[in-house]
Amino acid sequence: MTTAKLWVIDDDPSIRWVLEKTFNDTEFQVRCFNETEQVYKAFAEDAPDVLLSDIRMPGDDGLTLLKKMTRERPDLPVVIMTAHSDLDTAVNVFKGGAFEYLAKPFDLDDAVATVRKAYQQRQSQPQLTEVRRTPPTLIGDSASMQDVFRVIGRLSKSSVSVLITGETGTGKELIANALHQHSPRAEHAFVALNMAAIPAELIESELFGHEKGAFTGADKRRVGRFEQANHGTLFLDEIGDMPLPVQTRLLRVLAEGQFYPVGAHQPLNVDVRVIAATHKNLEQAVTRGEFREDLFHRLNVIQLKLPALRERTEDIPQLADYFLQRSAQELAVNTKQLSDDAVAALCRYNWPGNVRQLENVCRWLTVMAPGQAVQTHELPDELQQKNEPDVSLEVNEAASWGDTIDAELRRRVHQHDVLTALNEELERRALRFALERFGGHKQKAARWLGWGRNTLTRKTKLLLK
C-alpha cells in the first residue's frame, strides 16, 4: 500500500491523539501540529499530500491557513474540521477552496474516507472570493442541515439551476436567498414570486411584464419579474402550481435567454438564474401530465431536499431561542425563556407546519405567556394535546415487553451468564433498527441509541458481522 503524508493541525491534544491513532492504521503517515506557525515552518523542508486542519486555533486560524494554501499550494487538498458548523462557516470553507469540511464531533470512519477521497481526487482550483455575511436565519447543527449547508457551500461559485423540495414551512425561500447571497450574482437582485398566490390569468404578466395597451386596464408598461431579476436570481416558489401554457414560456426563456412581454413585438434578453421550489412531487405531476417533463429536467439540475422539522428535532431548542429573541426585539419586550420541560415538549411535537409553525408558536408565547419562564402548561393547546401519552397503550406495551423478557428468562433457565447474552441480543436488535430507521446514517443512529459514534462503529463490527 502506498504511503501518503497527512498533516493534522489542531490545538486540542486529545483530537490530535485520536486522529494520529486512527490514521496510523491506514496508508497515511501522520504528522501533527498544534498551531499554523509550525506548519508554515515545516513547509520549508517537507510537504503533505493532504492537510487536515481545525478552524479555531491560536495564531492564524484554519481559514487563514486555507487561503494561504489555496494561494501558494493550489494542488494541496485541505479538509477543514469545525465545531462551529453554521452556514457561514460552510460557505467560507468551500469558497476558501477546501476539499471538504467535517463537523465536530465526526465519525472517525467518515474522516478516514474523506481524507482518502481528498488524496485520490487532488483538486487545483484557487478560490479566493470573499463571502459576504448574511443574518443568521439559517440555523441547525443537525446532520441533515449540515448537508444543506454543504450543498450551499459547494454551489457558492455557481449559477446553476436548483430545485428546492420539502414540506410547507421548511424554509425554502430562506434557502433560495442563501443560495443567491452566496453566489456570483449576490450583488444583483433577488426576486421572489409565489405561483400559488397569483391568479392564473395574471401569472404571465407578472413574470414577463406587459406593454401599455396590451389588454384592458394596461394603462402603462409593467416590468415583469424576469426583467427585474436580470443578472440576479428569480425564485419561483410553488412551481408545481404554474399553468401549463406558462410552463411552455418559462422553458423557452430558460433555453433561449429571451422572452416577449405581453403585447410586445420585440424580445428582451435576460441573464437570470432560476431557483424553483415545491412541496409537491413533480415527477408524479409529470406522469399525470400536469407538469412538463422537459421543464422539470431543466429546473432539476441540482435538487436540494429540505428536512421536515420532526426529522431534525435536535435543532428545535436553538431555533426556539432564536425566534423568541427575534419576537422580543420586534415587540420591544424582554425575551421569554423556555423551561426544560417546555423544550422537551416542543421536541416531542410532530410540527406539521415545520419551522414556520415553530416561529408562530414563539411569537404567540412572547405575547401570551404570563411570566418570563415558559412552563409546559403555558404552551398552546395543540402542543399539549399532541404530547399527552396514551396510558392504555403504554400499559399494554409495558406488559407485552415484560412478558417477553419473562418468557426469555424461563427459556434460558439452565444457561449461564444470561444477562450478557440478553444484553448483546438487545443491542444487536436496537442497532439494526437504528441503522434501518436512519438509512444507515451513523451519527443519527448513535445519537438515538445514546452512544458515541466510535462506540457505534465498534458495536457494528462486533454485533453485525
User: Is the separation of the CB atoms in 425 and 79 below 8 Å?
Assistant: no
Segment 401-421 mean pLDDT: 72
Do both 186 and 320 map to the same domain?
no
In tens, the pLDDT along 124-147 reads 333 333 333 334 468 888 888 888
* pLDDT value of residue 137: 61
Segment 422-426 mean pLDDT: 82
Beta bridge partners of 193: 236
Asked which of 272, 305, 338 is the last residue of a domain, the reply is 305
Task: Report in angstroms the alpha-carbon separations of 263 from 206, 209, 332.
Answer: 13, 9, 49
Segment 155-169 mean pLDDT: 91
CA–CA distance, 212 with 209 (Å, rounded to integer): 10
Do both 11 and 112 map to the same domain?
yes
Segment 34-52 mean pLDDT: 87
Do both 161 and 79 map to the same domain?
no
Do both 110 and 174 map to the same domain?
no
pLDDT cut 70: percent of the chain above it? 89
Q: Give residue 403's pLDDT band: very low, low, confident or very high (50, 70, 90).
A: low
* pLDDT value of residue 127: 35
pLDDT cut 90: percent of the chain above it? 31
Q: Give residue 392's pLDDT band: very low, low, confident or very high (50, 70, 90).
A: very low
Residue 238 or 62, more confident: 238
The residue assigned the cell 426576486 is 191
Judge whether 403 lies within some domain. Answer: no
In tens, the pLDDT along 296-328 reads 999 999 999 999 999 999 999 999 999 999 898
Cis peptide before 105 (omega within 30 of 0): yes
* pLDDT value of residue 399: 53
User: Is the separation of the CB atoms in 118 and 100 below 8 Å?
Assistant: yes
Q: Give residue 420's pLDDT band: very low, low, confident or very high (50, 70, 90).
A: confident
Segment 149-159 mean pLDDT: 89
* pLDDT value of residue 390: 44
* pLDDT value of residue 4: 86
Judge whether 148 lies within some domain. Answer: no
* pLDDT value of residue 204: 86
The per-residue pLDDT of the chain, averaged, comes to 83
Do both 36 and 103 map to the same domain?
yes
* pLDDT value of residue 24: 85
Residue ranges making up the domain that contains 215? 154-305
* Total number of domains constituting the chain: 4
Do both 158 and 296 map to the same domain?
yes
In tens, the pLDDT along 164-193 reads 999 999 999 999 999 999 999 999 999 999
Judge whether 134 lies within some domain. Answer: no
3-state secondary structure of 31: strand
Q: Give residue 465's pLDDT band: very low, low, confident or very high (50, 70, 90).
A: low
Do both 437 and 377 map to the same domain?
no
Judge whether 13 lies within some domain. Answer: yes
Do both 188 and 282 map to the same domain?
yes
Whether 389 shows a pLDDT value over 90: the answer reads no
Q: Which helix (H) or strand (E) holds 19?
A: helix 13-23
Do both 429 and 353 map to the same domain?
no
Judge whether 299 lies within some domain. Answer: yes
CA–CA distance, 74 with 270 (Å, rounded to integer): 35
Whether 422 shows a pLDDT value over 90: the answer reads no
Asked which of 384, 404, 420 is the last residue of a domain, the reply is 384
Q: Which CATH number do you get for residue 226? A: 3.40.50.300
Asked which of 263, 279, 305 is the last residue of a domain, the reply is 305
Q: Which CATH number do you get for residue 100? A: 3.40.50.2300
The amino acid occupying position 329 is Q
In tens, the pLDDT along 240-254 reads 999 999 999 999 999
Using a cut of 0.75, tell me whether the model's pTM lies above it: no
Whether 99 shows a pLDDT value over 60: the answer reads yes
The dihedrals phi and psi of 210, each to the nearest 5 degrees, come to: -150, 160
In tens, the pLDDT along 326-384 reads 898 888 888 999 998 899 999 989 999 999 999 999 999 998 887 788 888 889 988 87
CA–CA distance, 64 with 62 (Å, rounded to integer): 5
Segment 143-156 mean pLDDT: 88
Q: Give residue 239's pLDDT band: very low, low, confident or very high (50, 70, 90).
A: very high
Judge whether 209 lies within some domain. Answer: yes
**What DSSP letter does each residue of 249-294 carry, written as one string?**
HHHHHHHHSEE--BT-SS-EE---EEEEEESS-HHHHHHTTSS-HH
For 363, the grid coordinates are 411569537
Q: Which CATH number do you get for residue 436? A: 1.10.10
Q: Which CATH number do you get for residue 350? A: 1.10.8.60
Q: Give residue 85's pLDDT band: very low, low, confident or very high (50, 70, 90).
A: low
For 322, the grid coordinates are 432564536
